[in-house]
Every structure is written in structure tokens, then in C-alpha cells.
């Protein structure tokens, strides 16, 4: 089978200085929580991308010196020669499939906390370290600039020795010293590195020139630049200095990788930005340079990818998140398997892993981060051991993924759900404001299942334990989800809230199942992710006055890890939602609620018409418990509870649980740790 002619342009080779990319699919540098700590896992994850057809596969940001220590984040390291072998693992893995390997060298400036190295960082001036860490950088002196250029040059030479084809000079996301020099709000110098834009660009220009001189004979030199910070006159803009920086350096690098700053803007969630939203900011670049341009925009469809090439926006389809959701996206386009593309939902669970310092994960792709340690491949699963029939009860994210995985292995599977529509919590939540793309979790899995003759779907089929035993299935997976608690018990409310049994006290389930409200509504959010804020938006759309209270120090506290906390709070403020942080509910009464401050103990009373409790959830595990005696008596051969029915969690964990159960069925589970761990050998 050959690809459709209209997409042939996506598979054209493109020259980047002294090297040639085999196609236009370019996995831009992205963090992954593995870095220097898990080089084998990192290499295998990138290898899968190359196997899946990505023509260029890059690292995350890679520290060039111990004085740019990005801990507690786990990134790449190229401090000295001893770091070369770990990175060479990735290069060799990527080269196996004919892709180019790129490395993003970085010196973090005031972004580097140096918590591990404990040496002062360097900045254009002495300024506070980001991330609310106490301490400041040291003002960089002329000798320091000389040293930094030498360190960067040495790192570029080491990268060449490791075998990299593309070497980055990084000035984006407000994460690097090269960008900090560009910004007049940080750079108050009066020497040749400060003042005019030409002077502020000098350090970046020198890094590019040094890198080209050191390795440019065989390696392409790329520049990653933020051309707009969305700060107006307070920052770089695509009409102003962003445009002028590109114009000054237009022909110097071999490739331009352009985006917007900071990371939360560049990787905005689908709730706040749609596919291709960066085009308005980066579209000018190709008119200023003859060098190839790569740009991102969370492009997930071949049509959208083709149009940015045809319209002259970019030469490469840059991707981080779409390559995580589907490492085989390019090959699926090439093979005309468009319906098999596992499209990114823009939830940023991948980003949360890096921020939290754990291996990368993905809501859509449960194999992400598990390629080496569990041996999981996104497209291939070990076939069935025996001919067996399996009943999966519950068609939410866990049940759908479990049925798909078992079906992929060749088992005869029946998936049923008591509701007429499959999808469970995802079907409900994707109908909330801004979450429509989350429906891809359902649609892709149902689409895959419907192509399998060995998987049968039965919606609208409630089952009791007796029903299950009567139909004769001896292998049963229970994926019946969870419900939101009605008594308010949660992380910070250890006992039922007084008054939670009143009729005007509701849960998210009530609103998602169509309950409409009027008047003044209080949302009590002790979940701290997206649910409280999207319900606030829903109620505002219904014409309600909304107050949101949370015991956390900020609104939607956990969403800081998905890079959207600021966007969430900003939207709620624009919608005139009244926000109360660090408050618990003391008592709910008819017509009012009493709140108490978590620190001072001070109390306030709010007049209102209804209360929504976003608290803990209760696993729907009664069916599983009712079936346990049948397993003990031998009437069932296999019984497993998965997803929220086992332990309520985020959607990504439910999908992972379903995939894990499908993989582990009939596989012997060792008593020791069920995945490989990278350990230092003594």
C-alpha cells in the first residue's frame, strides 16, 4: 500500500546544512523525566519514535555544565566526557531506523536552581532563581562569558563524538541564559552584551558561530528561539524584537526551530488553545531566511500538517505531544491508516511527568515511558497464550483499553456497559467546557475495537453477579468506575461535612448527568485538578453566580504540573468567579455555608443556593466483591478489578490500568518488581 499522493510532500527529504532529514516529521526536543538517570529507557523511547517514522528525533534539554544543574528535574547531561556513552545510546537507537538525532544543549541561567551542584548560577545580572527557590544568580562577567562559550563549544564537540547530527543553540521558553541575554527586563548591562538589541543578541550569535566552527562540518546547527512571549511591550513580540532577532541571524544557523514563550504558552492545553494556534506568531520566519524552519502546533491530522507546508509556514512538522501520543503517526500516514492515528488530546499529562521528575506518561498512549522498563511497544503486543473468552464489564477508559488490548492479542472479548454510550467518565467529562478533545480517548478505542471480529460490544447491558455467572464466562475483568462522594470526605475533610445530606448539596456527577442550577453556587474543590474549574465555567454558562473555595494555596493547584494553572485562574477571574483559597467547609446550612481558613481559623459565611462538593470518589467495586466468592469456589478462573473501580485516579491511569491488565492476562507475574530498573553497578 502506498500513501495518498497528496501527502507525498510530507515524506520528501529536506537538507539541514550538512545532513539530510529523510522526511518532514520532526520530533522537537521534549522533556521526559528520564534523562541522565534512565539512559536506557530514554534511548528506547526515542528509538520507538524513529521506528515509527519520525525523520528527526531530538533529546530533551541537555545541561552542558554543572553550574547549570536543573535539579530536581531530570534532564539530559553532558557535563564531561563520561556523559557521552549514555547519550550515544540514544543516538545509536535513533540511527537504527535512519532518522537524524538532535541534541538541545542548554545553560539555564536563573532557571537552573543548582540544588545538586550547589554552585552559583550565572545571569546577565544577579537575579532571583525561578521556581520560588531562595537564592540568586551571580552577575556574569567577561571571563564568565569566555568560559561559557568554551563550555558550550566543548559540549558541542562531545555531542558530535556521541554521534548527534543536529546540535541546538537554545534560546526559548525563558529557560536559558541565551534567551535571558535577549530580554531587556533581565539584561541591564551597559557593556557590549547589553543595551541595544544587537548587543543583547551578541551572546547567542557567538554561541552559534562557536558551534558551527566546532562541529559544523558534519553536524547541522539549529537555533530554538521564542519569537513571542505573549507579554506585549514587556517582552519579545513577533512584530518587534522577535522579528528583528531572526532578521539579524537569518542565515547563520542551519535550521530555525521557532515557538512562543514560556513553556505553558508553547505547550498550552487543548482547553485553552487549538491545533495550530502558534501560526499567527511564527508565520513570518520563512520570509526572512532561506534555511529550513520547524514549528509546532500540536498538529494531529495529516491535512493540518500538509497545509503548514503548502502555506509556507514551515518546512518541518514539529511535534512533541503528538509524537508522544502516537510514535507511529508518520508511518500511519504513509500507509494510509489515518483512522489508526492515536491523536493527542492536549491534556499535558506528559508535561506533568517532567515537572514531577518521573518517567513520561500519556493519557492516549499507555506504553509511553514503558518501552524499556516493561518492554512495551505501542503497536505490537504478545499474542494470546490459549483460546479463551473474556468478559469486560464497564466501557470507560479502563474497560475500553483492556478490551482493545485483549482483542489485539487475539482473545474472544465481550465488552458491555450498563449505559447506552460507551466511554464512562470520559463521555461525561468531554462534554464539559474546553474538554471536547478528550473524547478522542473513547473514539480511537471504539474505532480500533470495531475493526476486530473477536471483540463484541454490548451497550445498555447492566449485569449482576448472578447474571455473569449464569452466562458462563469464567474470565472476568471489572472496570465499573467510581462516583463522586456526597459527604465531602476528601484530602482535607476527614469526616462528612455537617449539612452535606441537605438536598441542595450536589456532586460533579449530578451536573454531568444534566442537573441544571440557578442562583449563587459554591464549588468546594478538594480535588485540585480540572474538575472544579470546568464546573465553574459550566455554571457560569448556565447563568449562575459562582464562588469556588479550596483548601489549597492556589486554584486548581495540581494543574500547575500540566502547565495550565495560570490559564485556569485567569479564565475564572475573567468570568468573575469569586475565588477563596485555603478554606474548608465548616457547615452547610439552608441558604448559607460557613467556611473556615485553614491557617488562621477565621470563619466567613456565604449566602448561596447550592453547593457542589468536588472531593474524593468512591470505587464502584461492589460487583467485584460479589464475584470474589465465585473465584474462591472455582466457578471463575480469573477475576480482576481495574481503573477507577480499583483506585480512582486520573484518566491516564485508568487507561494504563486497562492496558496493563490486557498485557498481563495469562502472563506469569513474578514476585519481584514487575519492571526493569536502571541501577548503578557496584
Q: β-strands 617-619, 610-614: how paired?
A: unpaired
Q: Phi, psi at residue 456, to the nearest 5°?
A: -115, 135
Q: Phi, psi at residue 18, to the nearest 5°?
A: -85, 0
| Annotated active-site residue in 31, 169, 238, 350 | 31
Q: What SS3 class is residue 421?
A: coil
Query: CA–CA separation, 484 vs 556, rounded Å?
Result: 17
Half-sphere exposure of 416 (CA within 13 A, CB side): 15
By C-alpha distance, which of 134, 143, 144, 132 is closest to 68? 144
| Annotated active-site residue in 170, 186, 473, 624 | 170
| Annotated active-site residue in 69, 165, 266, 315 | 266
Is there a contact between 583 and 523 (Cβ–Cβ < 8 Å)?
A: no
| Beta partners for residue 550, in sequence order | 581
Cβ count within 10 A of residue 321: 24
By C-alpha distance, which of 396, 391, 398 is closest to 455? 391
Query: CA–CA separation, 548 vs 538, rounded Å?
Result: 13
Query: CA–CA separation, 321 vs 195, rounded Å?
Result: 37
For 39-104, the DSSP string reads HHHHHHHHHHHHHTT-SEEEEEEEE-SGGG--TTS--EE-SSGGGHHHHHHHHHHHHTTT-EEEEE
By C-alpha distance, which of 679, 677, 38 is closest to 357? 38
| Beta partners for residue 139, in sequence order | 123
Query: CA–CA separation, 485 vs 382, rounded Å?
Result: 39
Is there a catalytic annotation at residue 173?
A: yes
Is there a contact between 678 and 37 (Cβ–Cβ < 8 Å)?
A: yes
Query: CA–CA separation, 266 vs 284, rounded Å?
Result: 17
Is there a catalytic annotation at residue 26?
A: no
Is there a catalytic annotation at residue 31?
A: yes
Is there a contact between 590 and 565 (Cβ–Cβ < 8 Å)?
A: no
Query: CA–CA separation, 181 vs 12, rounded Å?
Result: 37
Q: Please give, one letter per residue, the 3-state secondary structure of 559-587.
A: HHCCCCHHHHHHHHHHCCCEEEECEEEEE
Is there a catalytic annotation at residue 350?
A: no
Cβ count within 10 A of residue 322: 27
**Helix crossing, 651-664 with 397-409: angle to 10°?**
30
| Annotated active-site residue in 65, 110, 152, 173 | 173
Cβ count within 10 A of residue 98: 12
Is there a contact between 33 and 359 (Cβ–Cβ < 8 Å)?
A: yes
Cβ count within 10 A of residue 453: 8
Q: What SS3 class is residue 264?
A: helix
Is there a contact between 477 and 661 (Cβ–Cβ < 8 Å)?
A: yes
Q: What is the CA radius of gyration of the chain?
A: 27
CA 496, 501, 505, 507 dihedral sign is positive
Q: How far apart are the first and last CA of the chain?
A: 51
CA 368, 102, 344, 5 dihedral sign is negative
72-95: b (≥16 Cβ within 10 Å) or e: ebbbbbbbeeebbebbbbbbebbb
Residues that are catalytic: 31, 170, 173, 266
Amino acid at each position: 500500500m502506498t500513501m495518498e499522493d497528496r501527502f507525498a510532500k510530507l515524506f520528501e527529504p529536506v537538507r539541514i546544512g550538512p545532513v539530510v532529514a529523510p522526511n518532514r516529521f520532526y520530533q522537537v526536543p521534549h522533556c521526559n523525566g528520564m534523562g541522565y538517570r534512565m539512559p536506557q529507557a530514554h534511548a528506547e523511547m526515542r528509538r520507538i519514535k524513529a521506528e515509527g517514522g519520525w525523520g528527526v528525533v531530538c533529546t530533551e534539554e541537555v545541561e552542558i555544565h554543572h553550574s547549570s544543574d536543573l535539579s530536581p528535574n531530570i534532564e539530559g547531561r553532558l557535563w564531561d566526557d563520561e556523559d557521552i556513552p549514555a547519550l550515544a545510546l540514544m543516538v545509536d537507537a535513533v540511527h537504527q531506523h535512519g532518522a537524524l538525532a538532535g541534541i538541545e544543549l542548554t545553560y539555564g541561567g536563573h532557571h537552573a536552581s543548582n540544588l545538586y551542584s550547589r554552585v552559583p548560577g550565572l545571569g546577565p545580572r544577579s537575579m532571583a532563581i525561578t521556581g520560588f527557590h531562595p537564592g540568586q544568580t551571580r552577575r556574569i562577567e567577561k571571563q564568565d562569558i569566555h568560559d561559557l562559550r568554551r563550555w558550550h563549544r566543548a559540549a558541542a564537540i562531545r555531542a558530535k563524538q556521541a554521534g548527534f547530527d543536529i546540535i541546538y543553540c537554545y534560546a526559548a521558553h525563558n529557560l536559558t541564559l541565551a534567551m535571558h541575554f535577549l530580554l531587556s527586563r533581565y539584561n541591564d548591562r551597559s557593556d557590549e552584551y547589553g543595551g541595544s538589541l544587537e548587543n543583547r543578541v551578541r551572546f547567542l550569535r557567538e554561541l552559534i558561530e562557536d558551534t558551527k566552527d566546532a562541529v559544523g562540518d558534519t553536524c547541522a546547527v539549529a537555533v530554538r528561539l521564542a519569537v513571542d512571549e505573549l507579554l506585549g511591550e514587556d517582552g519579545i513580540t513577533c512584530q518587534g524584537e522577535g522579528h528583528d532577532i531572526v532578521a539579524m541571524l537569518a542565515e547563520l544557523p542551519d535550521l530555525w526551530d521557532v515557538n512562543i514563550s514560556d513553556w505553558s504558552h508553547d505547550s498550552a492545553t487543548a482547553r485553552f488553545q487549538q491545533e495550530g494556534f502558534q501560526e499567527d506568531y511564527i508565520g513570518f520566519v520563512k520570509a526572512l531566511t532561506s534555511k529550513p524552519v520547524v514549528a509546532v502546533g500540536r498538529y494531529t491530522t495529516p491535512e493540518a500538517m500538509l497545509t503548514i507546508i503548502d502555506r509556507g509556514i514551515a518546512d518541518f512538522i514539529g511535534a512533541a505531544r503528538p509524537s508522544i501520543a502516537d510514535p507511529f503517526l508518520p508511518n500511519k500516514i504513509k500507509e494510509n491508516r489515518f483512522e489508526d492515528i492515536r491523536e493527542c488530546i492536549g491534556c499535558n499529562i506528559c508535561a506533568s511527568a517532567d515537572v514531577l521528575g518521573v518517567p513520561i506518561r500519556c493519557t492516549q498512549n499507555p506504553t509511553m515511558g514503558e518501552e524499556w522498563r516493561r518492554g512495551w511497544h505501542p503497536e505490537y503486543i504478545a499474542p494470546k497464550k490459549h483460546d479463551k473468552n473474556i468478559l469486560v464489564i464497564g466501557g470507560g477508559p479502563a474497560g475500553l483499553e483492556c478490551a482493545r488490548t485483549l482483542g489485539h492479542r487475539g482473545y474472544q472479548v465481550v465488552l458491555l456497559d450498563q449505559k447506552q454510550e460507551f466511554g464512562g467518565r470520559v463521555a461525561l467529562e468531554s462534554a464539559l467546557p474546553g474538554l471536547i478533545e478528550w473524547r478522542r480517548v473513547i473514539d480511537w478505542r471504539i474505532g480500533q475495537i470495531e475493526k476486530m471480529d473477536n471483540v463484541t460490544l454490548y451497550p445498555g447491558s447492566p449485569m449482576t453477579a448472578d447474571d455473569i455467572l449464569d452466562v458462563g464466562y469464567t474470565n472476568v475483568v471489572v472496570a465499573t468506575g467510581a462516583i463522586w462522594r456526597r459527604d465531602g470526605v476528601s484530602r482535607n475533610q476527614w469526616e462528612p461535612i455537617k449539612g452535606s445530606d441537605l438536598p441542595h448539596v450536589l456532586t460533579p456527577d449530578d451536573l454531568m448527568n444534566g442537573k441544571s442550577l440557578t442562583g449563587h453556587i459554591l464549588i468546594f474543590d478538594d480535588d485540585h485538578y480540572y474538575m472544579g474549574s470546568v464546573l465553574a465555567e459550566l455554571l457560569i454558562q448556565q447563568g449562575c453566580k459562582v464562588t469556588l473555595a479550596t483548601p489549597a494555596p492556589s486554584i486548581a493547584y495540581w494543574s500547575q504540573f500540566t502547565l495550565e494553572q495560570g490559564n485556569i485562574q485567569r479564565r475564572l477571574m475573567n468570568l468573575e468567579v469569586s475565588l477563596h483559597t485555603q478554606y474548608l467547609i465548616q457547615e452547610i446550612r439552608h441558604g448559607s455555608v460557613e467556611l473556615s481558613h485553614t491557617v488562621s481559623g477565621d470563619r466567613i459565611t456565604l449566602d448561596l443556593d447550592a453547593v457542589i462538593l468536588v472531593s474524593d470518589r468512591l470505587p464502584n467495586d461492589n460487583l467485584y466483591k460479589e464475584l470474589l466468592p465465585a473465584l474462591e469456589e472455582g466457578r471463575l478462573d480469573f477475576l480482576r478489578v481495574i481503573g477507577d473501580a480499583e483506585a480512582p485516579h486520573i484518566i491516564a491511569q485508568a487507561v494504563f490500568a486497562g492496558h496493563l491488565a490486557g498485557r498481563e492476562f495469562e502472563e506469569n507475574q513474578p514476585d519481584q518488581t514487575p519492571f526493569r530498573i536502571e541501577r548503578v553497578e557496584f
